[in-house]
């Protein structure tokens, strides 16, 4: 199943401020666009961010480079939209500049973009698309059911999860708000397709079974995701690495990306 990426929701037509500009230039853009902040660029390379708040008590002729923040979080367009949501909301920021591998400005993802993506988050289409993929790849005819699966028997197919989202899934489970996980059940194996944070959260909370969409395959065939799990030495949920969200590989800090004079 294809994950939703930042590139699917970000704004590509971005208003930016040149590093050689002044505070007055920023004020003019705020008045013209009604935006409350802009990425600062040096020949389209992101070097900082300046907001209306940064201009308080600042003289109009003050250089942008003297008032901007040069330590901001930026994202890669291939970043999972859910990871971008965690970064935006946990960091308390409203906009996340999106850059390529050379720190060139590609777009911007905002908290409203993230909310828009999450409104589309829950859909049975996700399950049926995966079933369709299984049919095409393996020539099988899976059946779909709903029921509880033992947490201890789940074979993970994702090697890393994030601590802050894990805490969020624990909260949802406590409140009875958690979505079902998605698993493939074939002879002798229950493969976790979607819901790794929920599964680890349940295990941490001592929950022994989880509500799941169960895709049953009668044929005794090894799926590609099983081979991937073996390659990553994943045998059970304890093998999943739990990371702090700030260490996401597609998030960076601009002062590490750009050398300043």
pLDDT at 166: 85
How far apart are the C-alpha atoms of 194 and 225, rounded to whole Å?
12
pTM of the model: 0.55
Tell me the residue length of the chain: 261
**pLDDT band at residue 171 using 50, 70 and 90 as cut-offs:** confident
Q: What percent of the chain has pLDDT over 90?
A: 57
Q: What is the pLDDT of residue 125?
A: 75
Segment 63-76 shows an average pLDDT of 91
For residue range 215-251, what is the model confidence (pLDDT) as tens digits? 999 998 999 999 999 999 999 999 999 987 555 666 6
Give the span between the Cα atoms of 145 and 122, in whole angstroms.
Answer: 17
- Name the helix (H) or strand (E) containing 183: strand 181-186
139-172: b (≥16 Cβ within 10 Å) or e? ebebeeeeeebebeebbbbbeebbebbbebbbee
> Is the per-residue pLDDT at 1 higher than 80?
no
For 52, half-sphere exposure in the C-beta direction (CA atoms, 13 angstrom radius) is 10
Backbone angles phi, psi at 50, to 5 degrees: -125, 135
Residue 189 pLDDT > 50, yes or no?
yes
Which fold does the domain 125-245 belong to in CATH?
Answer: 3.90.1530
| Segments making up each domain of the chain, as ranges | 6-119, 125-245
Mean pLDDT of the residues in the chain: 87
Distance of CA 134 to the CA centre of its chain: 25
Report which of residues 49 and 4 the model is more confident about: 49
Q: What is the pLDDT of residues 156-169, one digit of tens each?
A: 999 988 887 788 78
Per-residue pLDDT reduced to its tens digit, 29-39:
999 998 889 99
| Sign of the dihedral defined by the CA atoms of residues 202, 208, 211, 213, in that order | positive
Span 117-146, pLDDT tens digits:
665 454 577 788 889 999 999 999 999 999
Fold of 6-119: CBS-domain (3.10.580)
> Could you tell me which residues are beta bridge partners of residue 96?
109
DSSP symbol at 80: B
Q: Summarize the confidence of residues 92-100 as an average pLDDT.
A: 88
């Amino acid at each position: 199943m294809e994950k939703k990426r930042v590139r699917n929701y970000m704004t590509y037509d971005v208003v930016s401020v040149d590093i050689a500009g002044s505070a007055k230039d920023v004020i003019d853009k705020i008045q013209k666009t009604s935006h409350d902040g802009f990425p600062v660029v040096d020949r389209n390379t992101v070097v900082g961010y300046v907001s209306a708040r940064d201009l308080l008590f600042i003289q109009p002729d003050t250089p942008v480079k003297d008032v901007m923040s040069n330590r901001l979080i930026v994202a890669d367009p291939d970043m999972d939209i859910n990871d971008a949501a965690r970064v935006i909301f946990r960091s308390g920021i409203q906009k996340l500049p999106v850059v390529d591998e050379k720190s060139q400005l590609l777009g911007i993802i905002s908290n409203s973009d993230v909310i828009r993506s999450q409104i589309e988050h829950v859909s049975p289409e996700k399950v049926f698309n995966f079933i369709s993929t299984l049919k095409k790849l393996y020539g099988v005819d899976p059946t779909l059911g709903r029921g509880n699966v033992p947490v201890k028997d789940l074979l993970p197919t994702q090697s890393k999860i994030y601590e802050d989202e894990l805490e969020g899934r624990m909260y949802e489970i406590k409140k009875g708000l958690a979505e079902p996980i998605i698993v493939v059940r074939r002879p002798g194996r229950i493969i976790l397709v979607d819901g790794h944070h929920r599964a680890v959260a349940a295990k941490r909370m001592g929950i022994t079974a989880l509500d799941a969409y169960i895709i049953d395959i009668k044929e005794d065939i090894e799926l590609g995701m099983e081979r991937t799990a073996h390659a990553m030495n994943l045998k059970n949920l304890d093998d999943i690495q739990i990371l702090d969200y700030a260490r996401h590989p597609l998030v960076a800090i601009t002062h590490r990306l750009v050398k300043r004079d």
